[in-house]
Structure 1
């Protein structure tokens, strides 16, 4: 009688791995996609320590293995601190039923971040391997932003405090251009706030601060983006929040403000936006639209026939995922009982065609997380690690 060979247990595999030289383990893990790190962290405590070590990421950089990694900020229950998740690959699984649909192979895994500060959504931006939380604080119940600045190191998954904003904001929005973070907002006195943070020197640059007296409006909308080498900000013309708000642009090289043509309405009223290769993508009325400053027209992103129809704009978030669009949305009709919702994710490759149109190709999409119905999808960011 032929006996079947038994597969080694997880404990035996851990012992075999730990018996290898440290340099060899480091070299092997550095070649593995970051999408598998949440699963690898379950091997042992020493493996978890290795996955958060700076030596590992130095090795990844030397080997040319850096990649975009998606982080998702959720508020699972009201009046609680934010929870962070990262996109990862599922461990290999065999479906037991033929009726089950083929999985996308991706899930959102919890990121174990102790003592995470409250996130200020319009102040969350990604630079390199760090996520900056500008205007966040430790007080969960405080609604207005604070002057605090926190940085999440996405290699070690630890927070550190950075120099605070020079002034206390009432509203703010942060955008990134050439390694600098531009913060636009307003003070309680309804004066404009505009500060520049240099991520290389980790300082607020007083010489680079944009003269607020030259702006053509008050920054009450807390929405900004960088496109075409300029900082675009939604400003109110009359000093009160109204649909008459205009978009103004600051030319960082020439140091002047300009009014932007009236066809920026999609940006003003969109629920989420991202910039990829100098093209602005927005969500409006359940559709993804794009805007190129050369064409100066909004067009619907074509080729997304595989995606289901989006119901509520507020439940959709976009991010630049290594030159592709990552789309996350909440399906509120997932469960008839109304106690749980499903979060879905899609990765869209982009192609610019000869007629100046941009088409999208859905590479994959699927259900990545089940959450309580009270959960709010707040922000999606991509870092480079």
Structure 2
């Protein structure tokens, strides 16, 4: 017969095992959540956290790229603007997206600061045709690469990056094999201006085609752009004031009014854009960084004005850095490069940092104030890498 002491010991051990098992069950996540519930939960999580969630498991990666998830996000009103960055590397191109990575500490020159938590994460996107600042545009959840790119040989091709599934698909081709082009978006239509080699006349001719992103069809008739219009070779374009503006090398700026179906000359105020890729349009206002200064274009007075309100080192960027701008839900996203390590020996190319700042914009009569929401070092890359373009997709 067992003693009362041994019986007590057995009963105590049994209770301990039961308690431990119960505690483990409470701490362990339920691995068998219904698919609909899991979909509903993830759809409400900010897209900024998706790169981290994709590391959980293969099934999570599959879920994060599924059409059902983005349908659920849309129905629940949780779509948001996400920044995508295209870098030209050696060799090829790489894509990154802005995401959250909390609890980081970075060195800001001689002072320490707590990281904003924003970083650029690599996006596993298959290789694509060469892109350029002028050939890449974003509409909704898609990024379009029109004609492959400028300066890389003739091309008809148009490809679309789906920023939900991170896959490329082909779109209807351009009608003419372009030598170079510049694309901009107006009312969800993509306006493409460029040059092609006319075999009949053995000369360069301009073209302007319009792609409707809703119907995925090019307009049946190309828009006339010959006569006294300057050659569109190596031109830049932007859409403001309801018009498609083309900046040409010799004759300045012309604008196409789709409602009136005509071209108008607009003077020389926007001519500086021909030498720069540091501009973007936000809510019908054109923003520009020139020699490190933040500026905006007054369409009524047809002149550039300085942005006010910025303070400290971000009131003016170094004049020799490469800068790219994007509309991020009505805020100005600015990315620029900064050399980190100097060239110190043959064969050592060094590294450089990519910084990002998000600026809230406030219009006050005849001026625009900028307020810095956050800024941070978001990526370090080899010095030979170059910023191509920053775009915002809605997903």
| Conserved 8 A contact 2:87-2:389 | yes
**Inter-partner Cα distance in structure 2 for 1:249 and 1:93:** 47
SS in 2 for 1:35: helix
> Structure 2 length as normaliser, TM-score?
0.85
Q: Label 1:17 to 1:211 Cα distance change in 2 as closer, same or farther (>3 A).
A: farther
Q: Match of 1:199?
A: 213
Q: Pairwise CA RMSD of aligned residues?
A: 2.5
Count how many residue pairs are aligned between Structure 1 and Structure 2. Answer: 359
Aligned with 2:187 (options 159, 170, 178): 178
Aligned CA distance change for structure 1 residues 93 and 23 (closer, same or farther; 3 Å): farther
State whether structure 2 residue 358 is matched by structure 1 residue 352.
no
- Cα deviation code 1:328-369 (max 9, x no counterpart): 000024557551000000000000113x10010111001000
Q: Distance in 1 between matches of 2:336 and 2:30?
A: 39
> Which blocks of at least 5 consecutive residues in structure 1 are unaligned?
237-243
2: CA distance between counterparts of 1:171 and 1:116?
18
CA distance, structure 1, for counterparts of residue 112 and residue 187 of structure 2: 46
- How far apart, in 2, do the equivalents of 1:283 and 1:358 lie? 14
Match of 1:44 among 57, 62, 66: 57
2:87 paired residue number:
74
Check the 8 A contact 1:327/1:345 in 2, yes or no: yes
Shift of 1:214: 5.1
Q: Secondary structure at the match of 1:282?
A: strand
- Contact 2:96–2:121 under 8 Å retained in 1: yes
2:382 counterpart of 1:372:
yes
Query: 2:351–2:382: 8 Å Cα contact kept in structure 1?
Result: yes
**Using a 3 Å threshold, how does the CA distance of structure 1 residues 336 and 168 change in structure 2: closer, same or farther?**
closer
Select the residue among 204, 217, 226 that pairs with 1:190.
204
Match of 2:333 in 1: 326
Equivalent residue for 2:324? 317
Secondary structure at the residue paired with 2:72? Answer: helix
1:124/1:179 CA distance change after superposition, 3 Å: same
Q: Distance in 1 between matches of 2:130 and 2:343?
A: 32
Hey, what does 1:240 align to over in structure 2? none
Deviations 1:129-153 (A, max 9, x none): 000001118xxx9822521110000
In structure 2, the partner of 1:239 is none
Picking from 270, 284, 288, the partner of 1:264 is 270
Answer yes or no: is the 8 Å Cα contact 2:102–2:115 preserved in 1.
no
Unaligned runs of 5+ in 2: 1-19, 198-202
Q: Normalized against structure 1, the TM-score is what?
A: 0.87
* Corresponding residue for residue 112 of structure 1: 124
Task: Give 1:121 deviation, angstroms.
Answer: 3.0
